[in-house]
Amino acid sequence: MKTLVFRGVGASPGIAIGKARILEQGKFEVIRQKIPAHSIEKEKTRFKEAVSRVENQLESLLQEISEELKDHAAIFKAHLMMLRDNMIYDRTLQLIEQEGINAEWALSKVLDWIKKVFAKIKDDFIRERFTDVEDVIKRVQMTLVGENLVKNLNFTEPSVLIANDLSPADTVQMNPELIMGFVTEKGSRTSHTAIVARSLGIPAVVGVEGILNHVLSDETVIVDGLCGELIITDDPVVLSRYREKQEAFSKYSLDIINTSHLPAETKDGFRVTIKANIEMIDEIPSVITYGAEGVGLLRTEFLYLSKKGLPKEEDLYSVYREMVERLNPYPVTIRTLDIGGDKFVSSVPLCEEMNPALGLRAIRLCLREPELFKTQLRAILRASAHGEVKILFPLISGKMEIIEAREILEEAKQELKQKNHPFDENIQVGIMIEVPTAVMMADVLAKEVDFFSIGTNDLIQYSLAIDRVNERVAHLYEPLHPAILRMLQKTVDAAHAHGIEVAVCGEMAGEPMYVPVLLGMGVDEFSMNAIVVPRIKKMIRGISQEKCKELFNELLEESTAIAIRRRLLKFLSDYYPEEFSPEKGLYCDLARTNSKLSTQNF
């Protein structure tokens, strides 16, 4: 009997046990061919025809998509736009003409170039949109070589799907009654494929590198979407243990779903607001389903990255309005454009920068390009006539940036008044706290705005001088560094001293193990990936704030992240044994955190 465990990323929770089915995805080799000058136009036509065929495929998919997945149609509409984006379409045609190469090879060169551009992006969520670009290019390449993208999705018996990669289109076409779970070598938790898998309730693990070299068709496998593991086993003891875990998770899921719409209130009455971070319209159903009380962070970059030129005010207004109306009566906090530097807008001329993350980006770019900024602000203000909207300025480092941003906001208001467009005159304005200067000036900044929202990802990165994208130092990224805890506490105290609320919208808010820490320091609002909301609410409802305050005060007395983490893990194991107990816990957070201890030395 054998048992092999492979680790990846849990993309969709749940346990699936069944026979493995290897998905043949029509592997093909892209060959470089030299195209003679007299055939260049013919090659360009071949490429254009392939794009048209892919457009037809996606249009058909949009027509056939099931009612329960209608809200994911935006993914495929975005893919349709990407097909004609100048980064892909125009650049491929240029390469065919300038270098005299075949369309498949030109597409590969375009993909390599885009990959390098995305690799520089610091925002994980935006960087992972590269997979959508990759899906689109791959689909065109396979059309050019005459391959069928998915040959074997029509399973005849329940199976666990093992594949190199799956696109959102592949996932949408899955039959949940026959595909019990899936595992891919590529992918991430925030990919559109993962989002669709969660909508379908299919347990999934992604990013299991090289798994196709180890698993065979008809082997018994276990997909553990809770721990992000694939287990190949024929051991009845192991199988029995996972069947028990499967049953325990079903009960746990019912429990947290049944309570997900209850208030996030601690046992001693401390009420926390729980909201979701979203980017696209297709995520709105999950906000409501999982019990979030609105959107705490609406990322607005996608509308700029998915178009050839800058979106018009009407384009932005249309999307914001639909989001606000569909979420009404819950509020929507819209973060203004956080782009530039490591991200890009092709229509805005930007210089190459040595350190883009420290360069002309976010509020700095918006203040430098006031018309770009004002267009978005007008669209946000107009949307505020249809429900509660808040404006959030990113990367604020000092008071003058708030003053300048507010001046442009006032100009936008005056312009709307002149055109008789209604909007919320008293719209709330907040700032992201994500650089150390904002923390140090928190008492000053709190007088200028209506709320704070702490972006823990950037705040930790900038404070510790750790580039999370740099694999040589990424392991040093530590949310529990004593300095970070003190900075968070300083921000919360300054806000409360001036009567404004503090939200946390970075990854710390959606990571269950940090719930007692944030409760202990008095954070008013958590905003996270919607799927985590029920679990976070259950944790909040299962503890008193007084206990968390005691814990947090003890953590502040520690001088190293290792000591803080050990103390926190003991607390979690004591108060949340169902989740964090090494023996009985459903999730693997504790075990992984313990293994992390040996590699960190703060």
List the binding residues for Mg(2+): 434, 458
Give the phi and the psi of residue 152 in degrees, each rounded to 5. -125, 35
Q: Which two tokens stand for residue 203?
A: 């347990």
Name the active-site residue from 192, 227, 386, 588. Answer: 192
Q: For residues 283 and 242, is the Cβ–Cβ distance under 8 A?
A: no
Distance, in Å, from the CA atom of 19 to the CA atom of 156, rounded to the nearest integer, reads 12
Name the active-site residue from 227, 505, 548, 588. Answer: 505
List the binding residues for phosphoenolpyruvate.
299, 335, 457-458, 468
Distance, in Å, from the CA atom of 435 to the CA atom of 415, rounded to the nearest integer, reads 32
Give the phi and the psi of residue 73 in degrees, each rounded to 5. -60, -30
Distance, in Å, from the CA atom of 417 to the CA atom of 91, rounded to the nearest integer, reads 42
Distance, in Å, from the CA atom of 162 to the CA atom of 211, rounded to the nearest integer, reads 8
Which residues on adjacent β-strands are paired with residue 561? Answer: none
List the binding residues.
299, 335, 434, 457-458, 468
Q: Is 192 a catalytic residue?
A: yes
Distance, in Å, from the CA atom of 543 to the CA atom of 551, rounded to the nearest integer, reads 12
Q: Do the bridges between strand 229-233 and strand 332-335 make them parallel or antiparallel, or are there none, so unpaired?
A: unpaired
Q: Which of 41, 52, 77 is nearest to 62 (CA)?
A: 77
Distance, in Å, from the CA atom of 578 to the CA atom of 489, rounded to the nearest integer, reads 29
Q: Give residue 486's Cα distance to chain centre.
A: 27
Q: Is 351 a catalytic residue?
A: no
Q: For residues 568 and 517, is the Cβ–Cβ distance under 8 A?
A: yes
Q: Is 233 helix (H, G, I), strand (E, B) or coil?
A: strand
Question: Would you put residue 146 in left (φ > 0), alpha (ψ -120 to 50) or beta?
Answer: left
Distance, in Å, from the CA atom of 21 to the CA atom of 221, rounded to the nearest integer, reads 10
Catalytic residue numbers read 192, 505
